[in-house]
């Protein structure tokens, strides 16, 4: 019966955005070609990391925290989260949050969508969407509670 006391009621005040990228509150259209790419596995590096073709037009980090939908291979029809996206010599290196249910193989095709780290800077620079940002970026951090007065005023609760 006490689980009711642990449920969130209303919104939580936090510096980061609480909307899911692409949902109605966010408003970013993930079908837009600027936020979506297709590719195929070139070479498997580990059980959840691989090099991929077709993503040469995107800068490193563009798909970090995004989603990847398998369109062919043993994992076809499954979705997974992207932990990291790097570019080495024009070749994309993708790391998934978890290893897929079935092994990844060379040639497996996928559709990948951009990711968001939930910060207002990313919302503005990557998506031009600060008007729909659903966080409170100027809320004081924990250091505001622990700060103490000094002559130089160095402990103002701001970003280090």
- The predicted pLDDT at position 159 comes to 53
Query: DSSP state, 12?
Result: P
Task: Return d(Cα 16, Cα 37) in angstroms, integer.
Answer: 26
Query: pTM for the complete prediction?
Result: 0.80
- As a residue count, the chain comes to 160
Q: Hey, is 86 helix, strand or coil?
A: strand
Q: In a 10 Å sphere around its CB, with 0-12 CB exposed, 13-18 middle and 19+ buried, how is residue 108 labelled?
A: buried
Average pLDDT per consecutive 10 residues, the chain (160 residues; last block may be shorter): 81 88 94 94 95 94 97 96 94 95 95 96 95 90 70 58
Q: Please name each of the domains of the chain with its CATH number.
A: 13-18+118-160 (no CATH), 31-113 (2.40.30)
To which H or E segment does residue 43 belong?
Answer: strand 36-46
Nearest Cα residue to 67 out of 35, 91, 92: 35
| 27-72 tens-digit pLDDT | 999 999 999 999 999 999 999 999 999 998 999 999 999 999 999 9
């Amino acid at each position: 019966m006490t689980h009711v006391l642990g449920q969130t009621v209303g919104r939580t005040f936090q510096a980061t955005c609480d909307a899911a990228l692409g949902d109605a509150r966010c408003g970013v259209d993930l079908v837009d070609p600027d936020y979506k790419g297709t590719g195929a596995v070139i070479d498997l590096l580990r059980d959840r990391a691989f090099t991929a073709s077709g993503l040469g037009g995107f800068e490193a980090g563009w798909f970090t925290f995004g989603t990847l939908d398998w369109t062919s291979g043993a994992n076809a029809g499954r979705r997974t989260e992207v932990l990291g996206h790097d570019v080495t010599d024009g070749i994309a290196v993708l790391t998934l949050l978890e290893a897929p249910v079935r092994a990844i193989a060379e040639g497996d095709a996928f559709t990948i969508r951009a990711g968001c780290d939930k910060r207002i800077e990313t919302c503005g620079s990557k998506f031009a969407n600060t008007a729909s940002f659903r966080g409170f970026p100027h809320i004081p951090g924990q250091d505001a509670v622990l700060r103490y007065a000094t002559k130089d005023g160095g402990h103002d609760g701001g970003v280090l």
